[in-house]
Amino acid sequence: MATEEFPDSFADVLGGVQRLIRRRLRAGMAEPRLRGAQVELLRLVMARPGIRVSAAAKELYLAGNSVSTLVNQLVKAGYLHRETDPEDRRSARLTATPAAEARLREWQARRGALVREQVAKLSESERAALAAAVPALRKLAENLHEEVGGI
């Protein structure tokens, strides 16, 4: 593959893998179906209980009103609690419900099993190549995260 073709091919493959993992995981998951942005918000709230809506928007690189819409959807579905911030009555703090925690634990377990199963089908050299690429992929993600923060 020519060097100039690599970035596009690489991005296409990463996007395709992520889409296929999501599609495979949707089969058999509990309803209601959660969209990617909803799952990202739930994962963030679980990692940082009590996060403010504005901080979540900044962390996810989404507009505040977009996150507010997601919060409303997830509160209605029973996956988030929204409480007025005692330090700033104009802000809300978010916590995940036990239902959200259970749902995400199930999703993470299923995702881990799916990826392990598929990686096991690869040759030893293919598994070694993927393992060797993980540090570079982490650095790529870190670089992308830092650059988005500067926009």
pLDDT band at 148 (very low <50, low <70, confident <90, very high): low
Average pLDDT of every residue of the chain:
88
Q: What is the pTM of this model?
A: 0.74
Q: Which tens digits make up the pLDDT trace of 14-53?
A: 889 988 988 888 777 767 778 888 989 999 999 999 999 9
Sign, CA dihedral 31-33-39-45, equals negative
How far is 1 from 100, CA to CA, in rounded Å? 43
Which two structure tokens, joined as six digits, stand for 127?
């598994």
pLDDT band at 57 (very low <50, low <70, confident <90, very high): very high
Q: Encode 50-71: b = buried (16+ Cβ within 10 Å), e = exposed.
A: ebbbbbbbebbebeeeebbebb
